[in-house]
Chains A and B, each alone.
Chain A
Amino acid sequence: MRHQSRIAFILLLSPLVLWLGLLILIPHVDMLLISLRERVSFGVYETSLTQYKKALTEPLYLRTFWRTAVMSVLATAITLLIAFPVAYYIAKMAKGRLQQVLFMLCLIPFYVSELVRTFGWMILLRETGIVSNLLQWTGLADQPVELLYTDATMMVGLVYTSMLFMVVPLVTTLESLDDSVIEAGYDLGGNGLSVLREIIIPHAMPGIVSGCIVVFMLSLGNYLTPTMLGGKDSLWFTEMIYNQFIVRSNWELGAAFGFMLLVLSSVIVWGMLRLTGRTLKETMG
């Protein structure tokens, strides 16, 4: 490299290194170190695995951890099932103007804060809410019905919040599938189901993988929806992190929880990439 180009290279490299180093890498290393220590007395700390032992033996912590993981996987699966037909409709059935309008309509909720979306569900589903009134009016219920604070409500909110991140990658990959390939599938004697299984889904796989990864991440890391829509028993792991950090000021345990969440999400994302033989760069970049 020439001298001038070398200076330019260093100038371009330094913001990247500062950003990743000071805001991503070192903070996470620091968080790991904090999670690995135990307070012996005032201002005196010892290195130990106590926090992780506590996290892995206390039934409440462990149960919440697995519940969050399972519910996030479930939310991802439901989002995929609901979004796929819609994405196919937008990409292959709707044409011209209608196609553009439908795609735009999918984007709108994304531009609105998650808080507003959650608030909307609260207005709809609470005891004095619209749905409860509707049920009474039609005679399906004879008293106000509380629909909030259950796992099902929380699921509705989680799926709603991350729907866009599934629909958009699916539409993009499905649009790149040539109509004539689908026609060829039918010409060769396939029916709707076999064409779907052998042509459409394999082609949409990149979109499915990146959609699933993003939706899973968003569900796992969600705080608002479980807090506002979920019940007292449906604790979410992010709520426990918040409680340890802000309410109880037990940073050591909170950092250990944070690290467990990070490991869980990395393992699942890595597993999904591994299963489908793709790399992070292809999926996100």
Chain B
Amino acid sequence: MIPTIPQSRAFRLVYGGYVALFFLYLALPLTVVAVFAFNDSQFPSLPWEGFTWNWFFGEERPQIGVFHERGILRAVGTSAFVAVCVAVLSVGVGTTNAFLFNRYDFRGKGLLYVLMLLPLVIPGIVLGISILVFSSTLANGVWDLAQMDIQALRPGLLLVILGQFSFITTIATLVISARLQKFDRTLEEAALNLGADRLTAVRTITLPFLAPAMIGAVVVAFLMSFENFNTTLMLVGSDAPLTIAMFDRLKEGSTPLLNSVSLLLMLGSSLLALLVILFQRRP
């Protein structure tokens, strides 16, 4: 509140109430998902049948918990594998992009920069189908030429990784560029004057400076990949990542198992997010 500006009590009350309602709206869906993970019933809905841990640790039908449900565990593994690949790839390319745009002036730089931003304004489904179409064109071309069937170009994990990489790289580039712009280049020049070669100077001076942004970008990329749905939906093969596996189950009707998976997801991602915030606060 700006103290010098008079506001009536009623106005402040109504305003405060509105903001409180807004946060209730934000919290409501997540809270019910979390609460019904503990409902001792086959359905994540009322009536409340009592408290149970079975949807986490249950071993027998009909209440098999997350930790004993093979399908879900396998999907978590698939998602984690995809997310690690996407995070490493996109932060790697994001770093080289940041150096390119920060250190070099060349013809067409402006155009390339706008192209680099484009993946953010292309709908995820369209990104997915364009990559699907192109990879199958390639696969068909190879078949016509050499009668070879390249499985990697058919829907599956490689395409999922490439599809997510294609837009998460833009975000990694932006995060790392923002930090690189704050770098004092005289530090690097000092290293050069002291006899280091270019590569050593970058490796020992610039990269450590960039590390917080790079770690932040790794976590953001990991989370975005883990949660991605639209692009993945178009490119997925027989190994379904977690979001797709959950979507398939949700369509068939839900049990509180989905709530317990969701609750674990919420806890996992908030923990990761918190870690990043703490890490970046460190001087």
Does A201 interact with chain B (Cβ within 8 Å)?
no
CB distance from B71 to the nearest CB of A (A): 16
**Contact between A31 and B26, CB atoms less than 8 A apart:** no
CB distance from A115 to the nearest CB of B (A): 5
Does B55 interact with chain A (Cβ within 8 Å)?
no
B36 partner residues in chain A, CB cutoff 8 A? 123
**Contact between B229 and A160, CB atoms less than 8 A apart:** no
CB distance from A222 to the nearest CB of B (A): 8
Query: In whole angstroms, what is the CA distance A200 to B258 when docked?
Result: 44
Query: In whole angstroms, what is the CA distance A141 to B73 when docked?
Result: 42
| 30 A-B pairs (CB sep. < 8 Å) | A8-B198, A12-B103, A15-B92, A15-B96, A16-B116, A23-B131, A23-B162, A23-B163, A24-B118, A27-B133, A30-B137, A93-B1, A102-B23, A115-B229, A115-B250, A123-B44, A123-B259, A124-B29, A129-B45, A130-B45, A217-B120, A220-B123, A223-B229, A224-B247, A265-B123, A266-B121, A280-B121, A281-B113, A284-B121, A285-B113
Given the interface pairs A112-B265, A119-B262, A179-B2, the reply to whether A19 lies near B32 with Cβ below 8 Å is: no
CB distance from A64 to the nearest CB of B (A): 14
Query: In whole angstroms, what is the CA distance A238 to B269 when docked?
Result: 27
B105-133 residues with Cβ-Cβ distance < 8 A to A are 106, 110, 112-127, 129-133
B27: nearest residue on chain A (CB-CB)?
Answer: A105
A275 partner residues in chain B, CB cutoff 8 A? none
**Contact between B247 and A285, CB atoms less than 8 A apart:** no
**Contact between A221 and B125, CB atoms less than 8 A apart:** yes
B45 partner residues in chain A, CB cutoff 8 A? 123, 126, 128-130
A262: nearest residue on chain B (CB-CB)?
Answer: B126
Residue from B30, B104, B119, B229 within 8 A of A112 (CB atoms): B30
**Contact between A111 and B269, CB atoms less than 8 A apart:** yes
**Contact between B19 and A89, CB atoms less than 8 A apart:** yes
**Contact between B23 and A105, CB atoms less than 8 A apart:** yes
Does B53 interact with chain A (Cβ within 8 Å)?
no
Does B233 interact with chain A (Cβ within 8 Å)?
yes
Query: In whole angstroms, what is the CA distance A116 to B269 when docked?
Result: 12
Query: In whole angstroms, what is the CA distance A254 to B125 when docked?
Result: 11
User: CB-CB contacts of A239-257 with B at 8 A, as 1s and 0s?
Assistant: 0011001100001001100
Residue from B115, B124, B250 within 8 A of A24 (CB atoms): B115
A80-111 residues with Cβ-Cβ distance < 8 A to B are 82, 85-86, 89, 92-93, 95, 102, 105-109, 111
In the complex, which range does the number of interface residues on chain B fall in?
35 or more
Query: In whole angstroms, what is the CA distance A19 to B89 when docked?
Result: 11
Besides A24-B122, A123-B36, A223-B229, 10 other CB < 8 A contacts? A11-B96, A13-B100, A16-B93, A106-B26, A123-B45, A124-B29, A128-B45, A133-B46, A255-B129, A284-B121
Given the interface pairs A85-B18, A133-B46, the reply to whether A113 lies near B265 with Cβ below 8 Å is: yes
User: CB-CB contacts of B1-33 with A at 8 A, as 1s and 0s?
Assistant: 110110000000001001100110111111111
Does A154 interact with chain B (Cβ within 8 Å)?
no
A124 partner residues in chain B, CB cutoff 8 A? 28-29, 32
CB distance from A37 to the nearest CB of B (A): 12
Does B273 interact with chain A (Cβ within 8 Å)?
yes
- Count of chain A residues with Cβ under 8 Å from any Cβ of B? 82
Given the interface pairs A27-B133, A223-B230, the reply to whether A269 lies near B33 with Cβ below 8 Å is: no
Does B243 interact with chain A (Cβ within 8 Å)?
yes
**Contact between A115 and B2, CB atoms less than 8 A apart:** no
B220-234 residues with Cβ-Cβ distance < 8 A to A are 223, 226-227, 229-230, 233-234
**Contact between A12 and B99, CB atoms less than 8 A apart:** yes
**Contact between B100 and A27, CB atoms less than 8 A apart:** no
Does A26 interact with chain B (Cβ within 8 Å)?
yes
Residue from B120, B125, B230, B259 within 8 A of A258 (CB atoms): B125
**Contact between B126 and A121, CB atoms less than 8 A apart:** no
Query: In whole angstroms, what is the CA distance A113 to B89 when docked?
Result: 22
Does B63 interact with chain A (Cβ within 8 Å)?
no
Query: In whole angstroms, what is the CA distance A265 to B121 when docked?
Result: 8
Does B38 interact with chain A (Cβ within 8 Å)?
no
Does B134 interact with chain A (Cβ within 8 Å)?
yes
A95 partner residues in chain B, CB cutoff 8 A? 1
Residue from A12, A19, A183, A222 within 8 A of B4 (CB atoms): A183
B78 partner residues in chain A, CB cutoff 8 A? none
Given the interface pairs A4-B198, A245-B129, the reply to whether A111 lies near B15 with Cβ below 8 Å is: no
**Contact between B247 and A115, CB atoms less than 8 A apart:** yes
Given the interface pairs A15-B97, A113-B227, A221-B230, the reply to whether A108 lies near B32 with Cβ below 8 Å is: no
Given the interface pairs A242-B233, A242-B234, the reply to whether A111 lies near B26 with Cβ below 8 Å is: no
CB distance from A211 to the nearest CB of B (A): 14
**Contact between B1 and A120, CB atoms less than 8 A apart:** no
